[in-house]
Amino acid sequence: MQSMMDMTDRVVLIVGGTSGLGFSAARSLIDAGGSVVVTGRNQEKIDRAQDQLGERCRGVVGDAARSSSAEAAVALAVSAFGKLDGLYHVAGGSGRSRGDGRLHEVTDEGVEYTLDLNLKSLIYSNRAAIRQFLEQGDGGVILNMGSVLGYSPSPDFFASHIYAATKSAAIGFTKSIASHYARENIRANVIAPALVESPMSERAAGDEAIMEFVRRKQPLDGGRVGQPEDLDSAAVFFLSEASRFVTGQVLAVDGGWTVTEGVDRS
């Protein structure tokens, strides 16, 4: 009997799929029988992903904040594998280096950069996928990367207010499109991690006070930073037929962040 999480004959575009959370998910989707297209900004990483993931992976370089990149990635999925069944939008990150942070200190550049990185890119990829799903006429699924900071803030250690705004907006946007396109059998959901090992988490990993807070705030499994593979089963669930009756939902994969007090004031 075929598992409901079997991805055989399913094609998924992963925006931001050449490293970290996106690459780990790509590997799990291929292990489950699927085919993937991964996007990233670096050709070397694209080449490495294709070498490691094999013949059921294609890659394309692009800036996720440009609408043409999402359109090119969807076109590659269709040309390489004949269709598109799902989108996993992982691309995004911190705008701290460009001026995000506490609102009274946020720069205009920080606002624009963080909105482009985390929200505009997501809107463009979702639009491109929805257009392809409608053209195919047989439904599809979108999974957007959120964050617990979109609705469960950390007032001191993780006070990046524009980032939080983008992740909150991602939830509202996803619920809105889930509502509208349900009649077309198009589903849209959000996965919301807490602190997970990635380039974005390097600042926190180097600060012992923050890491002590994380050990209290994410107490599962001994209290630790999440690993990319901690999200993989949830991603496969949402992108497979196992979640065929689920849309407009937010799943926190957070080690207990949203149900633990933590207290980050030193």
Annotated catalytic residues are 163
Q: How far apart are the first and last CA of the chain?
A: 54
- Cα–Cα distances (Å) from 40 to 91, 111, 112, in that order, read 8, 22, 20
Neighbour-count burial for 102-133, b at 16+ CB within 10 Å, e otherwise? eeeebeeebbebbbbbbbbbbbbbbebbbebb
Q: What is the DSSP string of 120-132?
A: IHHHHHHHHHHHH
* 8 A C-beta contact, residue 192 and residue 253: yes
Task: Give the DSSP letter of residue 197.
Answer: S
User: What are the start-end ranges of the H helices in the chain?
Assistant: 20-31, 43-53, 67-81, 108-115, 121-136, 161-181, 202-205, 208-217, 232-239
Rounded CA separation 225/89 (Å): 21
* 8 A C-beta contact, residue 227 and residue 189: no
Nearest in space to 217 (alpha carbons), one of 122, 148, 118? 148
Task: Give the DSSP letter of residue 101.
Answer: S
